[in-house]
Amino acid sequence: MIFTIFKKELKDTLRDRRTFMTMIVIPVLIFPIILNLFVGVSESYSEESATKKVKIGIVSEGDNSISKELKEIPKIIGEKEIITYKDTLSLIKDIRKDSIQIGLFVNSNFNLHLKEKTAAPIMVYFNATEMGMQDRAEQYLTIIQNNAKRKRCQELQINESELNPILPSYVNVASDKEMIGKLAGGILPYIFIAFGFIGCMYPAIDLFTGEKERGTIETLLTTPVKRWQILFGKMGVVVLSGLLAATCALVGLFLSIEVFKLVEDQALLSIIHSILSPSFIIALFALLFPLTIFFAGVMIPIAIYAKTFKEAQSIITPLNIVMVLPAMIGFFPGIELDLMTACIPVVNVVLSTKELIAGTLETKFLILSFIVMIILAISAIFFSYKRFDKETNVIQ
């Protein structure tokens, strides 16, 4: 009987255009869209920074030797053009208008300071809303500074290395996979969890509140099927819809990589391939399964209680934030799966997935997270059953 109800509800659900969109179409498209945007924006940004000529305005009260030094800096940092200004007012005005991007004010004592071997002041103007301009200015000044330092060391007959007592070398022992897992690995489970939730939402409302609103529940309850069987048949479809939405998001990710070839960097591609292994997908779904049951178990009592589709929607939609917001914890580097976080629903799934991607997952915490989610899923089923068994909740 449960399967008969499940089959019918699934057919009914898949024929609902709204559910079909949120369950299949949007999840499939989300990764291609995000990756396309990401690749497009980063390509155009790097292309723009490589080709964009930076105009540097200089107000020099001295002999303007800084202009000469700037011109000698190789083009590898980027194209540049030096423009001489008479006063800082027009220099600032032009930076604001984006006619020039960097402004330097060199006062009359600049060369004197260099000659007397004291620190020569230089004022750097830039517009912080123009991305990367402060970095570019720092790069130019570091080169000028190093040149001046080298010259001064020669004049003072000092070995330059004597001024740097320590020469640190930083070696990153984390693998690329680990780096991606720890720094960006939170995004992946977040998207799966968000779609798992959204995927459950419309079927839960449609199969419970919708049935009540349309007046079909009454006839269903007069059939010789036990209430728990009706609940399980319907709940099965709600859970499947959530998992299907998450699966569609995963399919979208595969399509982006394998069909649309949105990731061109071979090194990154091989890391992604190693992350999306069959064992990762099995472990991900093993965690998503009880989580989706938990989502369904939270939504179903609300859907049973609500009298109209609108009422159910208005309660469940804000719940989205409460449920999915903890998933954002995975975005923060530093928060890791431990005894405490493994006991927090949603957070444990995100962190487990994140550690799974990074390849640093400890089995005991995975098992603990799984047990916590199973307990919650069972409680949610029990709570849904209690609600569905209450006759005044089911009938309008």
Partner 1 sequence: MIEVTNLYKEFILSKQQQKELNTTDKKSIAVNSISFKCEPGKVFSLLGPNGAGKTTTLRMLSTIFQPTSGSIKIAGIDAIQNPQEARKKIGFLTGSTGLYGRLTPNELIDYFAALYSVSSSDLKERKDKLFTLLDMHDFQNKRIGKLSTGMKQKVSICRTMIHNPQVIVFDEPTSGLDVITAENIITLIRDCKQEGKTVIFSSHIMSEVDLLCDDIAIIHKGNLLYNASLEEFKNQMTTENLTTEFIKIVKESSNN
Nearer to partner 1, 155 or 218 (CB): 218
Considering only residues 68, 96, 149, 226, which one is a binding residue for partner 1 as defined by CB under 8 A? Answer: 226
For residue 343, give both structure tokens: 């006991």
* CB contact at 8 A, 196 and 242: yes
**Whole-number Cα distances in Å, 350 to 185, 301, 357:** 9, 25, 11
Is residue 223 part of the contact set for partner 1 (CB under 8 A)? yes
* Residues numbered 352-391 forming contacts with partner 1, rule: CB under 8 A: 391
Segment near partner 1 (CB under 8 A); pick from 48-56, 128-136, 216-224, 377-385: 216-224
Nearer to partner 1, 218 or 265 (CB): 218
Residue 210 has a CB neighbour count (10 Å cut-off) of 20
Is residue 139 part of the contact set for partner 1 (CB under 8 A)? no
Considering only residues 43, 218, 265, 338, which one is a binding residue for partner 1 as defined by CB under 8 A? Answer: 218
What mask, x for binding partner 1 by CB under 8 A, covers residues 287 to 326? ----------------------------------------
Considering only residues 51, 169, 279, 392, which one is a binding residue for partner 1 as defined by CB under 8 A? Answer: 392
* Residues numbered 13-52 forming contacts with partner 1, rule: CB under 8 A: 15-16
Is residue 12 part of the contact set for partner 1 (CB under 8 A)? yes
Nearer to partner 1, 83 or 220 (CB): 220
Q: Closest separation between CB of residue 5 and partner 1, Å? A: 8
Nearer to partner 1, 220 or 276 (CB): 220
Helix H or strand E encompassing 272: helix 266-275
Q: Closest separation between CB of residue 1 and partner 1, Å? A: 7
Place of tokens 């005894």: 339
For residue 20, give both structure tokens: 């079909």
Positive/negative CA dihedral, 87, 92, 93, 95: positive
Q: Closest separation between CB of residue 203 and partner 1, Å? A: 13
Q: Closest separation between CB of residue 375 and partner 1, Å? A: 31
Close Cβ partners of 317 (under 8 Å, ≥ 6 residues apart):
201
* CB contact at 8 A, 114 and 145: no
Q: Closest separation between CB of residue 210 and partner 1, Å? A: 10
Is residue 222 part of the contact set for partner 1 (CB under 8 A)? yes
C-alpha to C-alpha distance for 127 and 131, rounded to whole angstroms: 8
Close Cβ partners of 14 (under 8 Å, ≥ 6 residues apart):
20
For residue 345, give both structure tokens: 């629903």
C-alpha to C-alpha distance for 303 and 289, rounded to whole angstroms: 21
Residue 174 has a CB neighbour count (10 Å cut-off) of 13
Is residue 4 part of the contact set for partner 1 (CB under 8 A)? yes
Considering only residues 219, 266, 279, 363, which one is a binding residue for partner 1 as defined by CB under 8 A? Answer: 219
In the chain the first and final C-alpha atoms are separated, in Å, by: 25
Nearer to partner 1, 15 or 75 (CB): 15
Segment near partner 1 (CB under 8 A); pick from 173-181, 208-216, 271-279, 327-335: 208-216
Nearer to partner 1, 65 or 396 (CB): 396
For residue 331, give both structure tokens: 């975005």
* CB contact at 8 A, 234 and 5: yes
Q: Which among 310, 308, 297, 306 is positioned nearest to 393, based on CA atoms?
A: 306
Residues that bind partner 1 (CB under 8 A): 1, 4-5, 8, 11-12, 15-16, 214-216, 218-226, 391-392, 395
